[in-house]
């Protein structure tokens, strides 16, 4: 099914939304079951999905008073790219389920907000088009395919399209079991495809009567044997910085740094190994292990300016939005993602001021209760 374009009333409701939770409700209401369950689901019982948010919310702040906060600077930098505030878009598959403009809309919103978009290997839009829309504010997420030649071709296309980093996802050799998608046989609607990896004709041949089309399709495409020893191969394919997405332990953070990579703390939005540690709970040990030798980012459960500050306090240079961006896209296309980012930017600014901080460089672990 195609999600109908947002009406004038939808866009009015979006413009009046005061927080990301309201945009989420608007976005959810516009999606059919197939799309909604795909976006919303976590693996199995959803413990990690919930823990990402709960653990962010329960961390307590230690604000300082009587600081001159008449000027607040929210700016940040990721791999040399200046950001207006420390929030980017995490890679997520299939933006075409939310809006006809799909990844182009998300990219335009990220560019307009001074953010950065990470395009998924499983996008519905070819990277060449997204690169144009992102105006230099683009990273590319790589799933390493068993077909190494196809992987090489995709990496070359990402470079040629202006991507500034390769985000290599390491937590999904197999797709976690999102049981709602299995129960209701998730499938990409016929008007959508995944142009980096597979043709619509191939997709149509995937068996769906036994579960999620996605699971079958993914399991066949992705390389499950890739290890730390193979990273040299990947390094040789690109001159872009490599970010390993899905790191949750000090041990793997150390290996990532030894292999010349940056570190993205994530449990894939609770969609992979259920009961894995929440992203924010994993962040301190990862940041300590990295010890300034590489950049550290986080995603998972970020919906508030205070969430952003807490991640920065624990060592993240920036955080990334997964579902929040998708809800915005569903609620109102480019305008919805833009509104999501602008609300969050304002919250980051206010949270800094009320914490007695003028900029992100002043945000450290002393902002948090032990």
Ligand X SMILES: CCCCC(=O)C(=O)O
**Residues with catalytic roles:** 268
| CB of 93 or CB of 283, closer to ligand X | 93
Q: Does 269 help bind ligand FMN (rule: CB under 6 A)?
A: yes
Q: Give yes or no for residue 172 binding ligand X (CB under 6 A).
A: yes
Locus of tokens 């690109």? 238
User: Hey, how many other C-beta atoms are within 10 angstroms of the C-beta on 31?
Assistant: 21
Q: What phi and psi values does residue 283 have, to the nearest 5 degrees?
A: -60, -45
Provide the minimum distance between the beta carbon of 122 and ligand X in the complex, in angstroms, as a whole number: 4
323 binds ligand FMN (CB under 6 A): yes
Rounded CA-CA distance 296/143 in Å is: 20
Q: Which of 88, 176, 300, 332 binds ligand FMN (CB under 6 A)?
A: 300
Residue 122 lies near ligand FMN (rule: CB under 6 A): yes
- The partner in contact with residue 214, picked from ligand FMN, ligand X, none with C-beta cut-offs of 5 to 8 angstroms by kind, is ligand X
Tell me the DSSP string of 179-235. Answer: HHHHHTT----TT--BTTTB-HHHHHTS--TTS-HHHHHHHHHB-SS--GGGHHHHH
Nearest Cα to Cα of residue 302 among 288, 283, 276: 283
What is the C-alpha separation between 152 and 134, in angstroms, rounded? 22
Q: Which of 124, 161, 169, 193 binds ligand FMN (CB under 6 A)?
A: 169
Spell out, one character per residue from 210 to 239, where the chain touches ligand FMN: x when CB under 6 A holds, - when not: ------------------------------
Task: Estimate to the nearest angstrom the gap between the alpha carbon of 287 and the chain centroid.
Answer: 19
Q: Is 138 left (phi over 0), alpha (psi -120 to 50) or beta?
A: beta
- Percentages of the chain per state (helix, strand, coil), in multiples of 5: 45, 15, 40
Nearest to ligand X of 11, 130 (CB atom): 130
Query: Which x/- pattern over 83-122 shows residues binding ligand X (rule: CB under 6 A)?
Result: ----------x----------------------------x
Rounded CA-CA distance 67/40 in Å is 41
218 binds ligand X (CB under 6 A): yes
Residue 245 touches which of ligand X, ligand FMN, none (Cβ within 5-8 Å per kind)? ligand FMN
From the list ligand FMN, ligand X, none, partner contacted by residue 163 (C-beta under 5 to 8 A by kind): none
Q: What's the rounded Cα separation, in Å, for the pair 22 and 291?
A: 38
Name the maximum alpha-carbon separation found in the chain.
65
The radius of gyration of the chain from alpha carbons, rounded to an integer in Å, stands at: 19
Q: Minimal distance in Å, beta carbon 207 to ligand FMN?
A: 21
Instruction: Please identify which residue in 34, 52, 151, 212 interacts with ligand FMN, judged by CB under 6 A.
Output: 52
Phi and psi at residue 295, in whole multiples of 5°? -85, 145
Quick check: 138 and 119 in contact, CB under 8 A? Answer: yes
Which of 26, 83, 93, 117 touches ligand FMN (CB under 6 A)? 93
Give the residue, chosen from 30, 137, 164, 271, that forms a contact with ligand X under the rule CB under 6 A. Answer: 271
Interface with ligand X includes 264 (CB under 6 A)?
A: no
Question: Do 294 and 265 touch, CB atoms closer than 8 A?
Answer: no
CB-wise, 108 or 268, nearer to ligand X? 268
Nearer to ligand FMN, 11 or 269 (CB): 269
245 binds ligand X (CB under 6 A): no
Q: Which two tokens stand for residue 164?
A: 């500034």
Residues that bind ligand FMN (CB under 6 A): 38-39, 52, 90-93, 120, 122, 141, 169, 245, 266, 268-269, 271, 299-302, 321-324
Residues that bind ligand X (CB under 6 A): 93, 122, 172, 214, 218, 268, 271
């Amino acid at each position: 099914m195609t999600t109908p374009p947002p009406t004038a009333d939808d866009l009015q409701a979006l413009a009046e939304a005061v927080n990301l939770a309201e945009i989420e409700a608007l976005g959810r209401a516009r999606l059919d079951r197939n799309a909604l369950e795909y976006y919303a689901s976590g693996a199995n019982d959803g413990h990690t999905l919930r823990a990402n948010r709960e653990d962010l919310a329960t961390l307590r702040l230690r604000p300082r008073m009587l600081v001159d906060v008449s000027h607040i600077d929210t700016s940040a930098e990721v791999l040399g790219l200046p950001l207006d505030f420390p929030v980017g878009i995490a890679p997520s598959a299939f933006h075409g389920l939310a809006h006809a403009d799909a990844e182009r809309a998300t990219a335009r919103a990220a560019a307009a907000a001074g953010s950065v978009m990470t395009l998924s290997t499983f996008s519905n839009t070819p990277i060449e088009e997204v690169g144009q829309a992102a105006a230099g504010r683009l990273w590319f997420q790589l799933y390493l395919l068993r077909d190494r030649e196809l992987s090489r071709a995709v990496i070359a296309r990402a470079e040629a399209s202006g991507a500034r980093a390769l985000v290599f996802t390491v937590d999904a050799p197999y797709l976690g079991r999102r049981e709602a998608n299995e129960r209701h046989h998730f499938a990409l609607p016929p008007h959508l495809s995944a142009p980096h990896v597979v043709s619509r004709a191939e997709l149509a041949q995937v068996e769906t009567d036994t579960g999620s089309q996605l699971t079958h399709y993914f399991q066949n495409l992705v390389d499950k044997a890739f290890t730390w020893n193979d990273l040299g191969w990947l390094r040789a394919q690109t001159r872009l910085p490599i970010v390993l997405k899905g790191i949750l332990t000090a041990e793997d953070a150390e290996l990532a740094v030894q292999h010349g990579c940056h570190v993205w703390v994530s449990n894939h939005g609770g969609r992979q190994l259920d009961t894995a540690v929440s992203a924010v709970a994993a962040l301190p040990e990862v940041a300590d292990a990295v010890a300034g030798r590489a950049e550290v980012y986080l995603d998972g459960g970020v919906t508030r300016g205070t969430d952003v500050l807490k991640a920065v306090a624990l060592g993240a240079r920036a955080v990334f939005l997964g579902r929040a961006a998708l809800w915005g896209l569903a609620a109102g296309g480019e305008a919805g993602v833009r509104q999501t980012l602008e609300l969050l930017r304002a919250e980051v600014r206010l949270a800094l001021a009320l914490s007695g901080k003028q900029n992100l460089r002043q945000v450290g672990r002393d902002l948090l209760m032990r």
